Amino acid sequence: MTRITETTPTRTPAPSHSPPDMRYAPNIELARKLGWFSVGLGMAELFAPRLLANLTGVRNTGLLQVYGLREIATGVGILTTDRPAGWLWGRVAGDVLDLATLGTAALDGHPDDTSRALAAATAVAGVTALDVLCATTLSAAAALEG
């Protein structure tokens, strides 16, 4: 005897037309931490440029203060939006500028400035890797959301 069973057809959920919810996107917490890091670093560059000049070998304190404003703006941008990928790519661009500035300081400076600039460039390269990772994953998540 053959047994006949009824099956319920599976339903595909209707597409959502609501804006994507990026609160649960991969690396969103890392993005927030990088935003706070930007604000903190920017405050140090803006209000203690001589200290940063001594630590990094970059002697142009006015330039460090301008970089501080850039860091603060980028950090605030990351912290105040639901989709921070664009601001993170801004951080990556700033990192490239920072590395170029540190490279110039390493080549033009006193031997102490050279070693400080190279040490700072190593730290910036590490943060750049985090920025690229975070920006890439959030950009991919945003693209998948539509």
77, part of any domain: yes
16, part of any domain: no
pLDDT digit string, tens, across residues 68-108: 999 999 999 999 999 999 999 999 999 999 999 999 999 99
Q: What is the DSSP string of 3-22?
A: -----PPP-PPPPP-SPP-G
- The pLDDT score that the predictor gives to residue 18 is 46
| Amino acid in position 24 | Y
- Has residue 139 got a pLDDT over 70? yes
Number of Cβ atoms within 10 Å of the Cβ of 60: 14
116, part of any domain: yes
Q: At a CB cut-off of 8 Å and minimum separation 6, what does 143 contact?
A: none
- The pLDDT score that the predictor gives to residue 115 is 94
How far apart are the C-alpha atoms of 95 and 126, rounded to whole Å?
Answer: 10
Number of compact structural domains in the chain: 1
| Residue with tokens 């940063």, as numbered in its chain | 52
How far apart are the C-alpha atoms of 15 and 3, rounded to whole Å?
Answer: 37
- The pLDDT score that the predictor gives to residue 26 is 77
39, part of any domain: yes
Give the pLDDT band of residue 142 (cuts 50, 70, 90): confident
Report DSSP state, residue 112: H
68, part of any domain: yes
State the average pLDDT over residues 26-50: 96
5, part of any domain: no
User: What pTM was computed for the model?
Assistant: 0.81
pLDDT digit string, tens, across residues 11-25: 655 544 444 455 566
Number of Cβ atoms within 10 Å of the Cβ of 123: 13
User: Are 51 and 43 in contact, with CB atoms under 8 Å apart?
Assistant: no
How far apart are the C-alpha atoms of 117 and 106, rounded to whole Å?
Answer: 5
- The pLDDT score that the predictor gives to residue 32 is 97
And the tokens for 113?
Answer: 């400035």
Give the pLDDT band of residue 9 (cuts 50, 70, 90): low
Domain hosting 133: range is 35-145
Integer angstrom CA distances of residue 47 from 73, 114, 121: 15, 24, 21
